Amino acid sequence: MVMRKAASLPKEQLMDGIAGFLKALADPTRLRILHALQGGERCVSDLLAELPCSQANVSKHLALLRTAGIVEFRRQGVQIYYRIADPAVFAICGVVCGALQRSLDEKQDGLKAGKAAFAAGARA
């Protein structure tokens, strides 16, 4: 059994918290839910109209997002309305999108260079 120093426990808790938060974002259905909530508070029936999922599936994903602190909810009669708890979640998504775009741009540049080299070699 590995013993940890007491000072490293808060750091480990922080790492676990970050991993849990990112894990909650690491699902296409949950990202679709967040995208639907980007325009503001929505009830579950509104979300169901936009998502190709069953109510049970959407409810499961919303519960996970709620547990992670990404969404909040309120009840109004029999309806439950969900909203984004912290809009910073969209900044995180934006950073990831930017990284993906840069990676794709690099691959495209590499393909263009390879195509040019191939064409030049064919003419020689």
Query: What letter represents residue 93's amino acid?
Result: C
pLDDT value of residue 118: 85
Predicted model pTM: 0.79
pLDDT tens-digit map of 76-119: 999 999 999 999 999 999 999 999 999 999 999 899 988 888 88
Token reading at 92: 């995180």
pLDDT tens-digit map of 84-93: 999 999 999 9
Token reading at 33: 């839910």
Does domain 10-85 bear CATH number 1.10.10.10? yes
In Å, how far are 10, 78, 102 from 46, measured between CA atoms? 40, 14, 34
DSSP string, 60-123: HHHHHHHHTTSEEEEEETTEEEEEES-THHHHHHHHHHHHHHHHHHHHHHHHHHHHHHHHHHHH
Arithmetic mean of pLDDT, 45-61:
94
Distance CA 46, CA 13 (A): 36
1 pLDDT band (50/70/90 cuts)? very low
pLDDT value of residue 23: 95
Arithmetic mean of pLDDT, 19-32:
95
Q: Which residues contact 68 (CB under 8 A, 6 or more apart)?
A: 20, 21, 23, 24
Domain ranges of the chain: 10-85, 87-124
5 pLDDT band (50/70/90 cuts)? low
**Residue 74 near residue 81, CB atoms below 8 Å:** yes
